[in-house]
């Protein structure tokens, strides 16, 4: 698979993961108990930008690092979520 396709796959996985964890109704029963454990986890579960930063780090460690640098991956993940979210707004 080409590097561009891997990058696109990483970006779509990150967007989907962030959306499901922070906004999707299907995750409500999991999100609320996790969010009640600490202020940090609460913020992480309700803030898509916050979660996309940590989610991009997790994806980069366990799946694929698009840039080879975790800090750059994290910042790119935040930008990716923001861009995809703006593109999907009605």
Model pLDDT for residues 11-54, shown as the tens digit of each residue: 999 999 999 999 999 999 999 999 999 999 999 999 999 999 99
Which parts of the chain fold into alpha helices (H)? 3-22, 28-35, 39-46, 48-62, 70-88
Model pLDDT for residues 17-27, shown as the tens digit of each residue: 999 999 999 99
Quote the pLDDT of residue 34.
Answer: 95
CA distance 34 to 15: 20
In degrees rounded to 5, what are phi and psi of residue 34?
-65, -45
For residue 65, give the 3-state DSSP assignment. coil
The torsion region of residue 38 among left (phi > 0), alpha (psi -120 to 50) and beta comes to beta
Mean pLDDT of 52-58: 96
Instruction: Please determine, for residue 7, whether its predicted confidence score (pLDDT) is greater than 70.
Output: yes
């Amino acid at each position: 698979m080409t590097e561009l396709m891997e990058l696109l796959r990483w970006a779509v996985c990150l967007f989907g993961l962030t959306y499901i964890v922070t906004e999707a109704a299907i995750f409500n029963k999991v999100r609320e108990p996790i969010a009640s454990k600490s202020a940090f986890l609460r913020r992480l579960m309700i803030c898509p930008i916050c979660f996309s930063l940590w989610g991009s780090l997790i994806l980069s460690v366990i799946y694929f690092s698009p840039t080879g640098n975790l800090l750059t991956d994290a910042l790119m993940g935040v930008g990716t979520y923001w861009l995809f979210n703006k593109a999907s707004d009605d």
